[in-house]
Every structure is written in structure tokens, then in C-alpha cells.
Chains A and B, each alone.
Chain A
Amino acid sequence: MIDYMEHVLRSFEQCTGWNRDNSYENVTATSENLLSFRVPSGVKFQVSNKSTPNTFTTFELSNNKVINGSLAYLYTNCQGLENYVSNSRDILLQEASETYRQIRPLYPCHSLRSSSDGAKEFGPSSLWYGRMYYPTSTLEAMVVSRSSAQTQFVAKCISSLANASVLTLYWQKDSGQNCQEWVASTNEGLLGYRILHNFVGSQSKLNTSLYNDSSLSVGGELWFGVLNTTPACSTTLRYCTHSANTGKPLTLTLSWNPLFGHVSSTYSVKTSSGATFSSKYDFNLYSIESNLSFGCDLWRRGHTKQLDQRRTEPLDAPNTNSSVFSKERVQKKQGPKEDSPMFYHLMAGSTSSQKLIEDLNVTFASSLQKLTKEKSTIQRFENSLIDANFASVWKLSTSLRHKNLRVLWEGKYKGFLISAGAEFTGAPLELPSNLAGESKTPALIRPGKFGIQLQYST
């Protein structure tokens, strides 16, 4: 379950036109959400409030052996944020829960258009956030500043009595095609650079489908801890597409860490509007250790009456804002050019496209029919996702090497967002992995961690 403050932050990014999925940090977000979701521990209760259109507060109590609390304030000068932030009664579950991230392909005209729109609409805005933990008196602070349409500056800091204070600075520049980030942290003097490059969507020769909605991204990161002189780097390839026949979205990633010889590949697919499956295979070239992880989401639909009501609502209703979906809606709202991004590759000036257009002219009728059919399949699927009113979701994930099973239930009940989960482990957690194999304990699966989290916001 996404915290209220995180939800506000994402809404802020959405409102200012910042694409969260275009960062290398979130390149494997889909599989992370499905495989290593966070299981709450202990009891946690969170009350949030949008006191004014620009200020938000959260009070949190948690009981994890001792009772802790935290108080968070957030202020932003972003205009129109209140349309994106929704309370716990109205929020869509697929928006409040971390799940499959739908990646939109990049089209040049789309990026141009959006940037021109951004230049027209964009105003510098910023966000201040602070959270005080009790009784440890740890202060968490964050400043997010959008200085121009393509740049974002984030400063995060933790000041605590017990541990060392940490300040981390992010400088992000997203031009649509490339997203670069420079990161500096005082924790071990960590310096980092990461970049994600999106290939412009074009007609693939292998793809028989005319309606191309796939995107290919390559990214990399370089890290260096100055104080401990430890480097790290990785590179990742991500491919998102839709299944041609059924219109089901699927994502493949391949990550490689050349320094430590780690290769991990994930395959995530949304088989239906109510189910997502993901698998991940890790392999280390040096230690020849491997790991296979599975995860799935199972969504349960709620009442359809509410759904019908919501369909009749105007499109700029505040509760239609999953990052992808709301953008879709915003685009739809913006008018006649809504289809042009999809067909841009057919109208591009390249020779292949020219040829394609000629081919298209020959077999115009049948192809166009096929095109509309495929497109309608995908659109229909997406619409079903957007409009679905899910009541609860079960999440399961397991890992062969760690021999654990994690179960999480998230749902809405009378305006509360509830998330309850447990983690079962076969091997004791304290033992290192190489010892865990030796100790042939009877494979009694015992709960290592469990908890429940309640969230209410107005």
C-alpha cells in the first residue's frame, strides 16, 4: 500500500508532467512490485488529511515492539494538485497499490507536443515535506523542485540523534528520450549517475502487428562510494509491449551487473485485467548461485454499480489518476489529436514507413480493419483496467533460494485502506544463506513477519 505522502508526491509528479517510469531507478519497478512487495510488520495506523489544497498532513502510529509515531507535513505550491490527490474512500485500489507499471512508448511527436504543451503550461513548482518520528526524534525532510519542464531537483535528508545524518541530492533531467540523473549522498560519499534511453518507437520487421505499442529502453548506472572506494554499476534493458492477439501487456527486463557478474531477467505479464504474473531468474556468473522467484497479483472486483456511476462522472474527476491512465484521460480530454501518437510510426518520413504506407495503400481496407481491430483490443483491455473497480487484491511471491512465501492482502473496507500480510520462511533468517542449506531442519514453514496497516485519509 502506498503511503499517503508517497501518493501526494506521485500526484505532484503527475501534475507537473514528470514521468516517474522514465527514471532508471524504476526500470524494474514492475517486477519489484510483484516480487518483493513490502510486507507490513506490526500494527500501523495512519490518518491523513488534505487540510488545504496546498498542505497535507499525516499522523501515524505503529506498534512494533514499542509504540512509535510520526507526524508529517507537506506543502506544495503546485496548482491543481487537488485534482490528482484523492482520499481513501474514492481512490482506486490499482492506484493505491503498487502493481504492474504500464510503460507508454515514446513517439517523437508526442514528446514534442508534450514538451511544447509543457512549455506553455509549465510553471515552476516545488514541494516541501517533513516528517518527525517519535520517540527517536528523527527528522525526515524532502524538497522537490521543478525548475523547468525537463529538470527536477530532489533533496532528501535524515537528521537523527542515534545515527549519522544523511543528505542525498538528486538532479534529474528528463528529455523524454533520455533521462539522466546525478545523485550524491553523504552516506559513504556515494556518487552516482544513471541514464535511461528510450528508443523511438518504430515499425519492427519482426512484428507482424501493424499497431505498434512497444517500447524499448536501455539504461545504466554508475556508482562510486568515495569513502569506502567501492564501485557499482549495472545496465538494464527493458522491453514493454502488448500481446498482439489479446492485447495483454507484458514487460521483459534483463539486468546485468558486470562488476559482480550478476544477471537477472524478469518477465511480467498481465494475463487478464485481474491477474498479473511475474517471474525472475537471477544468476551469478562468479559464484554460480541462482535464484528463481515467482509473484502474482489477483484482483477481485467490487460492486459494479459504483463503476457505472463513475463512468458517468466527468473525466476530470479527481479519482481518475493512475499515472498512466490519467494521462490517457488528460490526453483524451485534450481533444482531436489523441490518436496521432499511436499512428505516428506509420506516417514517419523513413523509407520503411514510406514503403509501409504504400503497402498500406494496396491493402488498405483489410489492413486498416486489422489495425483498428488490434487497437481496439488493446484499448478495450486498457479501458477495462481503468474502469475496473477492484475491491481487494491478493499478492503472493516466493523465492526458491530464500525458501520464503510472502502473502499480502490489500483492500478497501468502509473507506479504510487495509493491507495485511505475512512472510513465511523455511530457514531461519539469521543464518547466512550458505549455512541455511546445511542445516536440514524439517521444512517447517513458520511466519517470520506479519502485520497489518490501516490507512484513512480525507
Chain B
Amino acid sequence: MSFRFNKGAFEDNSFNEQIREALTSALNSKTQSSSQTAPANTTNSAATDEVKQETRGPKRLDILKSGISVSKVNFPSTPQLEILDLDVSAQSRSLLKGICKVSCKNAMLEINTEIEANLLLLYTNDGPSFTTPRLISNDSFTVPITMTFNQIELEAITNIFVKNNSVGISFNDVNLDFDFDCSIKLLQSSIEKRLKGSMETVFKEVLPSVIFSMSQRWFTHGESTCNSASDDKSAGRQVENHSHTPRTILEDCDLEDLSPANMLRLSTLVSSRQSLSLNPTAMNTLSTIPGCLERQNLHRFNSRIPALSNFYPDFYEVESPHLKAFGRSVSTNVISSGKLEHHNALPQRVLDERSYDLKTIASVQSRIFERSSGDGTAIRRRKIKMGKKSKSKKAQSQDIENSSPTVVMPSSPSLEPSAVSTPEALHSPQPTTAVQSPELLAENSESVSIPALILPTQADHYTLPVKTSAPKLNLLEEAHYLNRKREFQKLRTSLYSPIRSNRFNLNKEMERPILEHKGLNFVGLTHGLNWGSEDLPPPYRG
């Protein structure tokens, strides 16, 4: 899913006009309803009928003498919406939960109205005439008032819940700043104080309810948009009336809005689903479909997991000779050979031949530590100096301490460059971008590395190790999500529950997989987007 602001709407004046009309109607609907209840008792204020007063219910004071008109609205820049987090499987009943940052700058708003100058007149007219003392010459006039809000800067962290037929928004961190200018300077400070005081209720109560009711109208597809000026009660009634009628969330026009890249991915998914072929093009690539990890390539994925055994794959030749074969049968072999123990330890041969490099080992261990701990705590190494010439092997982090035995190193670690150069370059200590869940680690530990590590795609890693490896690993992370079939099934049913309707079933058969894969891709892409650009792990803990 992608959010896109139609920039054209902001550049020309239509957006401002829309806002102006919406605000005017919204503000006046409230005042009209209140002014209907308020009686016109200016002419006979001295002697209001008492019986009438008794039968009347409690009414609100109306300081406004005319409607509110929004005269000027100016949003010069496009509001920015930054998605901080998107959680699809948050709740069972909500489709989507996200955290967004909304920011809007340099906006301007001007409101005109007329207010009653003599407040005491309102109160004395309002009160029962029996106990209200009569005031002589207590007349009043109306004052036109213009309130200008300049330089409105809004920055808010919002929680967005997209449910079946509505959008709920709660504002968490609201920073609102504006320059307030009132045509009556006497009232400016007090009005400003009150405005700032009431901002909390606006953002906590008013705006969420307004957005909620508005989104309900949107999801019913404009059947009540003609009555958008009517107040919320009737809108709510209409929503109830239309609750049984079919609703369509996605339409053909929505599909047209998809970007070509998304369409390409979708079509790849569709074709692979139809042909049951997961690697239609290249044999040795990790995955052609982004977000998919094929089982047959699992060993390749595992081979890139930092472990000591992966660095010296040549020494494992004897133990796993059959892994050299590729092809479809390998995948079953991998499953069957899951009992092969993966040791985070140097092979005996390496030790025997003394072909290890201390720096490599240290980098591997630090990477393991970084993956397992996650947070940015610095690695503390214990250095053991053995004698004068001998170097101690660098100590490990706590979780791998027992598995990696301290080795007494020879005084001169002369390594054969031909044997170590390739894995060292490949696994040089570089910032890792993907985060590995513990399950994945355990899964990976079952596999055994393969000797042929130099692949055409991996050859690129020599030149640009950071940039290219990052998306690859992320895609593998998506594969981890794909494995969670159960949740996924649940998600899919919840995704399409609102469009299980007659209208949707009437659509062409071909659109169905597209829609479904759109959903699939939507899941994967959002996570990919989220993590791919981040060096830190996503805020998924807790």
C-alpha cells in the first residue's frame, strides 16, 4: 500500500476551497442548531413569559450573533505524511495499524463572525425573570470579529487504525503552533489562552470523531456525500442504513493506480503460482521473486549466516559430500539432513593446519553478538595474553563463549591467502542490516555450508558489499514471514472480509489473484520498505 498525495490538488486552489467550504459548513451547522434552541427574546427581555421559561429545557448561551464564515484558507505546501510503523497483524479485527507522522507547515486560516458585546445581557436574558434583577439600559451591539491564524505548524504522531469500514485516528504527540491575530485586541490574549487550552479536547475528542464519521462516509462510497453538510447524527443514521449494502474497498481504478514495478511483481507472483515454478529464470540466484525464499536455496542463505563454520567451508567437505549437488532433490535432502549439527566452531582441520585468521574470527563473533543482542551495546572482549609472542584469541560474547573454545594460537599466524581470502572479503565486518529472529537462527543452524560460495550474484558483493547485501537480506526476512502461513491466512481473510460481496464477485475472474497478490505484496513490501532503509532493527520488540 502506498500513500500518495495528489500534489495537483494542493498546488491549485481547489484544496483550499474545499477546506474552506467544509469548515464553513461544519462550523455553521453547530451554530444553527444552537441558535434554533435559543429564543429571540431581545424585544421583550424585561418580561419574558415565565411559564414558557419553565417549560423550556436547559439551553445553551449563544454569544454568536451570526454564522461563522471562513474567509481565507491557504495551505501553501503539501502536508507531509511519514509512516513510522505499519503493523498488519496487530489486532484481529483491524486491518491495519500504523503510526504516522503528520506535518503541515505555513498554513493560514481566517475566520469571520459576529459576537455579542454585552455578555451580561445574555446571562440576564437567559436566567429566570423572577430572580434576575432588572438592569437599566443594558443594551448591546454586535461586534464583528476576525480571527486570523498565521503560520500554522502542525506536527503530530498519530495512531491509525483501519478497520472494516472506518478509519480511527488518535493523536499522540501534537505540536501545534500558530500566530493568532484577533481584530479585537482586548480579547486577543484571552481567546488565545482559551484556544490553547481547548486544543487538547479538539485533538483528543473532536478530530478523531470527525475523521471517523467522515471515513465511514467514504467507505460507503459517496452515497451520503450529498448530505455531507448535515450533522453527524444523520450521517450516522445513514451509515447504519447502508450497513447491509455491499461495499467495495478496492475498485478497478485503484488497480490502475499501482505503479509498474508493483504490477511487475504481482505478475511474477501470478505466473509463478500458475506454473508452480519458483525459479523460472535463473538457476543459481537466491530468489527471483522478491520476498520469497525458496527451500532449495536455504543452504545458500544459511551459508551467509555468520558462523565460524561458514568461513571455512572447505574443511567440511568430508562431512557433507552430498550437498554439492543442486537441484530440486536437494531441498528434500536439506530437510532430511537437518540433523547435521552446525557448530559455531572451527573445524578440526583448520586448527590442525593452523589456517585461521584471528581478525576474521573476531569479526564473526562480533557479528553474531550484534545479531543476537540487537541493541547497540559495545562488545566487551576479554584479551588473554599468552606469553610474549603468542596472541590470545579474542574472547567472545557471552552466548557463544562456551561454544567457541579458547585456542592457543601460534606465535605467527601465517595464513594461506588462497584459502581464506574469499570468505574474508565476503564476510568482512560490515554493518548488518537485517535482523534475524531467533527461530531463523535456529533454522539456519541446521544447515551446512556449501563450498561453492563464489556465485555470479555474490561476486558483486566484493565491490559493493553494503548496498547490495542489504535488500537481499531483507527479502529473506520476508521469506520468514511467508513461512508463517497461519497468520497469513488469517490476515488474508481479514483483508478481504469487507469486499466479500456481490459486487466483488461480479468482477472478472482474472482480477482475483491480482487482488490477492496485491495483498501479499503489500505485506512484504511494507516490511521491506521499513527495514531496508534502516540500519537499526525495526521497533518490533515489546
- Mark A residues whose CB is within 8 Å of B: 24-25, 27-28, 32, 36-42, 44, 62, 64-66, 68, 70, 133, 136, 138, 140, 156-158, 160, 162-163, 166-168, 170, 183, 185, 187-188, 190, 192, 219, 221, 223, 225, 228, 230-232, 234, 236, 255-257, 259-262, 264, 282, 284, 286-287, 289, 399, 402, 404, 429-430, 432-435
Contact = CB atoms under 8 A, between A and B. Distances in A.
Given A136-B55, A257-B138, A429-B40, A158 B130 contact: yes
Given A232-B138, A257-B138, A287-B142, A402 B43 contact: yes
Nearest to B114: A434
Contacts of B65: 432, 434
B35 interface: yes
B390 interface: no
A38 B134 CA distance: 15
B117 interface: yes
A36 B138 contact: no
Contacts of B44: 36, 38-39
Contacts of A157: 131
A167 B131 contact: yes
A158 B129 CA distance: 10
Chain B contact patch, size range: 35 or more
B132 A230 contact: no
Given A183-B133, A192-B133, 10 more contacts: A36-B44, A37-B47, A158-B131, A187-B127, A232-B121, A232-B135, A234-B135, A260-B117, A287-B143, A434-B66
B52 A257 contact: no
Contacts of A289: 141
B407 interface: no
7 contacts: A32-B46, A38-B46, A188-B127, A225-B120, A232-B138, A255-B136, A430-B35
Contacts of A236: 136-137
B119 A223 contact: no
| Most chain A CB neighbours (cut-off 10 Å) among B47, B131, B132, B138 | B131
Contacts of B135: 221, 223, 232, 234
B161 to A, nearest CB: 40
B139 interface: yes
A185 B36 contact: no
Contact of B58 (A37, A162, A434): A162
Contacts of A70: 51
B66 A432 contact: yes
Interface in B35-74: 35-36, 40, 42-44, 46-47, 49, 51-52, 54-55, 57-58, 65-66
A434 B142 contact: yes
B120 A234 contact: no
A188 B43 contact: no
Contacts of B52: 41, 64
A48 to B, nearest CB: 16
Contacts of A430: 35-36, 40
Nearest to A66: B55
Q: Which of A36, A62, A162, A432 has the most CB of B within 10 A?
A: A432
Contact of A25 (B127, B128, B134): B134
Given A65-B55, A138-B54, A234-B138, A156 B40 contact: no
A223 B132 CA distance: 12
Given A166-B128, A232-B120, A287 B51 contact: no
A136 B54 contact: yes
Nearest to A288: B141
A244 B101 CA distance: 84
Pick from A232, A257, A259 the residue with the most CB of B within 10 Å.
Answer: A232
Interface string B134-153: 11111111110000000000
B120 A223 contact: yes
> 8 closest pairs, A vs B, by CB?
A287-B141, A38-B47, A255-B137, A234-B137, A230-B119, A429-B40, A168-B131, A166-B131
A49 to B, nearest CB: 21
Interface of B: 35-36, 40, 42-44, 46-47, 49, 51-52, 54-55, 57-58, 65-66, 114, 117-121, 123-124, 127-128, 130-143
B54 A68 contact: yes
A156 B57 contact: no
Contact of A185 (B55, B57, B131, B138): B131
B141 A187 contact: no
B136 A156 contact: no
A30 to B, nearest CB: 13
Nearest to B116: A432
A160 to B, nearest CB: 7
Given A68-B51, A260-B117, A434-B65, A234 B136 contact: yes
Given A25-B133, A188-B123, A260-B139, A41 B49 contact: yes
Contacts of A187: 123, 127, 131-132
A260 B140 contact: yes
Contacts of B57: 162
A185 B133 contact: yes
B55 A27 contact: no
A228 B141 contact: no
Contacts of A190: 120, 123-124, 133
B131 A256 contact: no
Contacts of A192: 133
Contacts of A432: 65-66, 114, 142
A39 B41 CA distance: 13
A66 B52 CA distance: 10
A441 B138 CA distance: 30
A203 B114 CA distance: 51
A282 B139 contact: yes
Nearest to B52: A64
A187 to B, nearest CB: 5
B139 A257 contact: yes
B129 to A, nearest CB: 10
Contact of B47 (A36, A158, A262, A402): A36
Contacts of A64: 49, 51-52, 55
B513 to A, nearest CB: 61
Contacts of B140: 260, 262
Contacts of B119: 225, 228, 230
B120 A230 contact: yes
A296 B525 CA distance: 85
A98 B124 CA distance: 23
A299 B7 CA distance: 77
A36 B46 CA distance: 8
Contacts of B47: 36-38
Contacts of B124: 190
A255 B138 CA distance: 10
